[in-house]
Amino acid sequence: MNKVPFGPTYDEMLHPETISPDVRATALKQLHDNEMDPINLFNINWKDADNKVRKIVLPPELTGVDANIVVMLGCGFPSGSHKVGPAYSTLIEGLVDGEISAEHTILGPSTGNFGIGTAYISKLLGLKAVVIMPDNMSKERYERIRRYGGELELTPGSESDVILTLERTHEMMKNPKNKALAQFELMANYRFHRHVTGGSAIEAVKGVGNGRIAGFTSAPGSAGTLAAGDQIKVAFPEAKVAALEPYECSTLANGGLGQHRIEGIGDKMCTLIHNVLTTDFIILIKDEETVQGVKVFHDGTDLLLKMGIDPALAKILTYAVGPSGICNIIGAIKLAKHMRFGPGDNVVTIATDGFDRYDSVLEELNARYLELTENVLSRWTQDIFIQADEQHIYDVRRPAAKQRLFRQKESDWLKFGYTQAYLDSMQDQAFWEAEYAKVAPYNHKILAQRGE
Ligand SMILES: Cc1ncc(COP(=O)(O)O)c(C=O)c1O
């Protein structure tokens, strides 16, 4: 086991090449050899050993659009998803601010990956964690949380019942021994994704197409990932940002509430940390298509090769994209079609996690469809990706649409004790810039804690 020099700064998560070379080398080694070694905190970043962003570029043969669909891969993060980044950032900010200490129990309200990240980070930093999540998620998630030593506190329901986990969290926070990593509320999540994911997205398109970003799509769970769009717009003001929702639970689009099966997203709310000012479109994606897409990527290699997909890419597709990643890819294709993006334009999106937690989801799909021949997978590939339509795209750039989203946020958050004045302050981009500006002071505080 290595002694942990506390953990990385925001800048080191964006530029891991600036981490001291021996720490970086040991961390990369331990990512494969021992994921429970605390040195893995220094693997919380989007880059591979060559300091290149882990990504794939989907070609027109698969997407039906001329624009490049650039997918950043979250499965290479320790614990298997980028949600470990917000978990680390919220915990480390609490620690350097003196609000969290070794005596506290860490609460992680989640539908899965943030809970996995919370259990994992707490374990590395020697803290006790309780993950509060719905009782009907894929079983691989509970197993992983237990493997990382996290306790489970289950609330009834599934993906779109996350509001119950929030209520339980706020109840448990009345005990001063409990400290919540409140991903839907704490700006550390915004800071991580704006600085680290946004900055990495800008690097990811270097040498791809025209080197710029024309569009960014992400399906909010917490809306943390969407914050990357704010940074992308600073670098490329023309970029359009689309938030994706399940067609079955279209809360941001039109207040719709319903059960759906895209794990990790569509949580029936406008989260506190969602900067709706920079969201240009909301696009609805059908949940069944996301599971069918996972089937095509995971089991359709022969078909993909016949379609002319590069074998190395086809191999990555077998393990690197879960249902919400498929949702993000479909959204990227729809945005590219809607905006008439052409050759050379890049749409960036995210695969939050890989296949490793969805075996049970495919088992269920196989049982429902009985006969899944190559012909069926080929039809799905056409319907889901290549022939993706432009239906259910909501343009939310006008003030009336923004006001509707502000009202949604109020109905979701006033009840948790946030004031109208605080929520009103979020209607000004200056609020978000001020939150982002805290990255630099937190970098210093983390370095100070490390004695540097
Ligand atoms: C699988 C998966 N996809 C997407 C998301 C949404 O990401 P974000 O919370 O950054 O909006 C999550 C969040 O937990 C997730 O677990």
The string of pLDDT tens digits covering residues 405-432 is 999 999 999 999 999 999 999 999 999 9
Indicate the top mutation candidate among 158, 222, 290 to test ligand 1's pocket, ranked by most ligand atoms within 8 A of CB: 222
Q: Whose CA is nearest to atom 15 of ligand 1?
A: 264
Portion of the chain with pLDDT greater than 90, in percent: 90
> How many Å lie between the centroid of ligand 1 and the Cα of residue 134?
15
How close is the Cα of 133 to the center of ligand 1, in Å?
14
The protein residue with its alpha carbon nearest to ligand 1, atom 7, reads 221
DSSP for 42-78 reads: GG-SSB-TTS-B-EEEE-HHHHSSSSEEEEEE-TTSG
More confident residue, 141 or 254: 254
92: which 2 tokens? Answer: 């480390």
Q: Whose CA is nearest to atom 14 of ligand 1?
A: 264
> Do the beta carbons of residue 110 and residue 165 sit within 8 Å?
yes
Distance CA 171, CA 222 (A): 20
Probe ligand 1: pick from 110, 137, 352, 356, max atoms within 8 Å of CB?
Answer: 352
Q: How many angstroms separate the alpha carbon of residue 20 from the centre of ligand 1?
A: 30
Give the contacts of 90 (CB within 8 A, at least 6 positions apart). Answer: 181, 182, 183, 186, 188, 189
**Phi, psi of 57, deg, nearest 5:** -120, 120
DSSP 2: P
- Domain ranges for the chain: 11-43, 55-79+200-395, 84-182
DSSP state letter for 104: P
Q: Is the pLDDT of residue 158 over 90?
A: no
Residue 5 has pLDDT above 90, yes or no: no
CA distance 2 to 30: 10
3 state DSSP class of 174: coil
- In this predicted structure, the answer to whether residue 137 has a pLDDT above a threshold of 90 is no
> Which fold, 55-79+200-395?
Rossmann fold (3.40.50)
User: 108 in ligand 1 pocket by Cβ < 6 Å?
Assistant: no
Chain CA centroid to CA 421, Å: 29
Of 329, 331, 296, 301, the closest CA to residue 314 belongs to 301
Work out the average pLDDT over 342-364: 96
Quote the ligand 1 centre to 218 CA distance (angstroms). Answer: 9
Nearest in space to 409 (alpha carbons), one of 233, 195, 185: 185
- The label of the residue with tokens 């795209």 reads 393
Q: pLDDT tens-digit profile of 356-411?
A: 989 999 999 999 998 999 999 999 999 999 999 999 999 999 999 999 999 999 99
In this chain, the answer to whether the domains covering 55-79+200-395 and 84-182 adopt an identical fold is yes
Testing ligand 1's pocket by substitution, the residue of 324, 326, 329, 357 carrying the most ligand atoms inside 8 A of its CB is 324
User: Domain 84-182, what architecture?
Assistant: 3-Layer(aba) Sandwich (3.40)
179 strand-pairing partners = 106
Measured CA to CA, the distance from residue 186 to residue 422 in angstroms comes to 13
pLDDT band, residue 159 (cuts 50/70/90): low
pLDDT digits (tens, 9 = 90+) for 65-80: 999 999 999 999 999 9
pLDDT average, residue stretch 276-295: 98
Model confidence pLDDT, tens digit, residues 289-308: 999 999 999 999 999 999 99
Helix/strand/coil (H/E/C) assignment for every residue in 228-283: HHHHHHHHCCCCEEEEEEECCCCHHHHCCCCCCCCCCCCCCCCCCCCCHHHCCEEE
CB of 353 closer than 6 A to ligand 1? yes
Which one, of 200, 7, 194, 24, lies nearest residue 91 by Cα? 7
